[in-house]
């Protein structure tokens, strides 16, 4: 787990293996200070040929830097032959949910971690560069 110093609620990025998939859980407020940690966490898993799921249910704020990291990670996952499912808080009024849904049309989003994990394990042919 990587704890990110910040104000207010605890902020962390947790990386936990779950069978053949890794769950990257984002908790609290995230911006340009924590984006490099998120990027490195996902890149490390992809370098080891492990599919990832990004769990944003505990995220309370994401800025454009973090959204950029997610878009780049999604592209890199597809190039490696994986999906990068993103789990969102089921609360339709969630600011993080609304932001991701409005700006991230290329990400597959789920309300359920189990469904996202199953989708991550679906290996596709790597994208051609």
Enumerate the domain spans of the chain.
Answer: 2-120
User: What integer pLDDT is reported at residue 24 of this predicted model?
Assistant: 97
pLDDT at 90: 78
pTM (2 d.p.) = 0.79
Q: What is residue 129's predicted lDDT score, i.e. its pLDDT? A: 47
Span 2-120: which CATH code? 3.30.750.24
pLDDT of residue 105: 63
Those residues of the chain that have pLDDT short of 70 are: 1-9, 104-106, 122-129
CB atoms within 10 A of CB 78: 15
3-state secondary structure of 57: strand
- Separation between Cα atoms, residue 93 and residue 128, nearest integer Å: 38
Spatial separation of the C-alpha atoms in residues 119 and 51, rounded to whole Å:
9
| Cβ-proximal residues to 19 (8 Å cutoff; 6+ apart), any chain | 117, 121
Main-chain phi, psi angles of 26, to 5 degrees: -110, 120
């Amino acid at each position: 787990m990587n704890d990110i110093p910040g104000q207010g609620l605890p902020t962390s990025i947790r990386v936990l293996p779950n069978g053949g998939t890794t769950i990257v859980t984002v908790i609290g407020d995230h911006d340009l200070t924590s984006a490099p940690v998120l990027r490195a966490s996902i890149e490390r898993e992809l370098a080891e040929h492990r599919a990832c799921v990004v769990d944003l249910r505990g995220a309370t704020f994401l800025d454009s830097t973090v959204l950029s990291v997610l878009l780049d990670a999604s592209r890199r996952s597809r190039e490696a032959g994986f999906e990068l499912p993103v789990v969102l808080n089921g609360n339709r009024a969630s600011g993080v949910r609304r932001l991701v849904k409005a700006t991230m049309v290329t990400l597959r989003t789920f309300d359920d971690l189990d469904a996202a994990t199953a989708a991550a394990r679906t290996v596709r042919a790597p994208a051609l560069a």
